[in-house]
Structure 1
Amino acid sequence: MCPAIIERNERIVPMPFPFKAVIFDMDGVIVDTEKFYFDELAVMSDELGLGITLEERKRQVGMSHQDFQRSLQMWAARGGYGELTGDEAEDIYNRWAAGRPRPYAQLLNPGVRETVSALHDMGVRVALASSSPLANIRDVLAACGLADMFDPIVSGEQFHQSKPDPEIYLHTLDVLGLPAEACCCIEDSVYGIAAGRAAGLTVIAKREERFGFSQEGADRIIDQVSDLLNVK
């Protein structure tokens, strides 16, 4: 494995990266979509008469796609749309959102592309495990110029339940062929942190203070994705 390079007392000192693979979450880590979706829900609630509260919007941050569908069902019933299936409720959401562009490239968090490239250069494997649907993952990565930088790419829709259930991470480890202790994951939400810990991974949280939740379950907290390269 190629060493990371750091400066210490004006000398260049090689420092090996401590993990063989890094598993990235997407929303909130690669792209700052959590705040975008948080604000979007408030607009949808007003326009469709769903009565979504502030606390309900906060609980969506990092939530699995399956649980988000259940929230949409509840809001649809509240708004007078009847008792819908999860897919039917999501269809209302998708039709409402269809005319609203999502500027994923503008939401790319600083340093992500450079950090992933540096990990590749060090021989560290880089995977992605997101609760979002696979089609959405691919749209985001393509818009941000990251389509070929993660392998494997795993979506929570492949499982009965995604984060905080650890199955998505356990599956990713199986595909990588690596034990949990050889890998870390980069998360931001309570759900993602819990999933990573339950899978036995070292959990590094990108600092998030806008939604009122605690990241105390993480092993370490970093301010920017690029700070990952300084982890020892």
Structure 2
Amino acid sequence: MSSSDHPVTGLGPANRPLPPIKSVKAILFDVDGTLADSDPLHYIAFRDMLVELEYNNGIPISEEFFSAFISGKHNSEIGVLLFPDWDQQRRDRWLDDKEAYFRRLAAKELRAVAGLKRLADWIVEKGFRRAAVTNAPRPNAEQMIAAVGLTDFFEHLVIGSECERAKPFPDPYLKALEHFGVSAENAFAFEDSPAGLSAAVAAGLPVVGITTGNPGPALLAAGAAFLIEGYNDPALWSKLEK
């Protein structure tokens, strides 16, 4: 395989610390698991639909399987992993149905990560540019952003499937930086999955890892500067209020 067949990793230093706040011009957010703890709903949707399909002889997938092989990955990658013998059209139809099921669950049960409004208000007060950068399909991303009350907060939304390459490649984050005309040295990101972290780190961004759905050691191994449990976490505000 050529190097273009693999995610670009190592373009930005792993575990790079956040830049001084006085030099920050933009803050970028993943959506699933970062704005709202949506991974449990994705897990339910995948679990239920795979059982209906009698995947794995009808034995429900575990949360560990979901975290290791599904969370944070683009649907095109997930489809090949789950259904290597299916044609792409059949994979796409099944995944579209899964996303519709997720949206029905999210409409009733989605909740913002604690402290999100506090952080959003602080970012607006500072005048930083802000974008959402996600592998979620556009209807999912727009629904989740609306559900947590941030439709008017985000100035730009980057969808992985609308880029040349989705996460874990850096393209979505590079596209957001280019949109604002901002260097990675003057920005940072929030991510909750190893795949998303790999993308942001590869784009040269420092990244705050949020442990809503994935284990902290995996996020640190993927390049997180430090970890938080939510946006009220003192570890975050000790950095922001320096």
Whether 2:226 is the aligned partner of 1:220: answer: yes
* SS of residue in 2 equivalent to 1:142: helix
Bigger shift: 48-57 or 173-182? 48-57
1:69 and 2:79 are equivalent in the alignment? yes
Alpha-carbon distance between aligned partners in 1 of 2:97 and 2:82, rounded to the nearest angstrom: 9
Deviation at 1:199, TM superposition (A): 0.5
How far apart are 1:226 and its partner, in Å?
Answer: 3.5
In the TM superposition, 1:52-91 aligns within 5 A as 53-54=61-62, 55-58=64-67, 59-71=69-81, 73-74=83-84, 83-85=87-89, 86-91=91-96
The alignment status of 1:39 with 2:44, answered yes or no, reads yes
Distance 1:139 1:63 in 2: 19
Equivalent pair of 2:192/2:213 in contact (CA under 8 Å):
no
- Name the structure, 1 or 2, with higher relative contact order (CA <8 Å, separation 6+): 2
Does the CA-based 8 Å contact 2:191-2:207 persist in structure 1? yes
2:146 is aligned with 1:138:
no
Matched residue SS, 1:115: helix
Deviates more, 1:53-62 or 1:33-42: 53-62
Identity of aligned residues (%): 27
Residue 154 of structure 1 aligns to which amino acid in structure 2? V
Asked if 1 retains the 8 angstrom alpha-carbon contact of 2:74 and 2:167, the reply is yes
Q: Does the 8 Å contact 1:131/1:156 carry over to 2?
A: yes
Give the total of aligned pairs. Answer: 211
* Coordinate RMSD, CA, aligned: 2.6
State yes or no: 1:116 paired with 2:120: yes
TM-score, with length taken from structure 1: 0.79
Report how far residue 211 of structure 1 moved: 5.5
**Cα separation, 2, equivalents of 1:44 and 1:188:** 24
SS at match of 1:23: strand
Between the aligned partners of 2:209 and 2:189, the Cα distance in structure 1 is 8
Q: Greater helix percent: which structure?
A: 2
| Structure 2 unaligned regions, length at least 5 | 1-19
**Which structure: greater strand fraction?**
1
Distance apart, 1:113 and its partner CA: 1.8
> Which residue identity lines up with residue 174 of structure 1 in the other structure?
E
Counterparts in 2 of 1:84 and 1:162: CA distance versus 1, 3 Å = closer
1:113 aligned counterpart, secondary structure:
helix
Match of 2:195 among 191, 195, 209: 191
For structure 1, the 5+ residue unaligned runs are 1-14
Q: In the aligned structure 2, how far is the partner of 1:35 from the partner of 1:211? A: 14
Change (3 A) 1:212 1:180: closer
Please identify the structure whose Cα radius of gyration is greater. Answer: 1
Corresponding residue SS for 1:150: coil
| Aligned pairs (5 A) from 1:201-212 | 201-208=205-212
Taking structure 2 as the reference length, the TM-score comes to 0.76
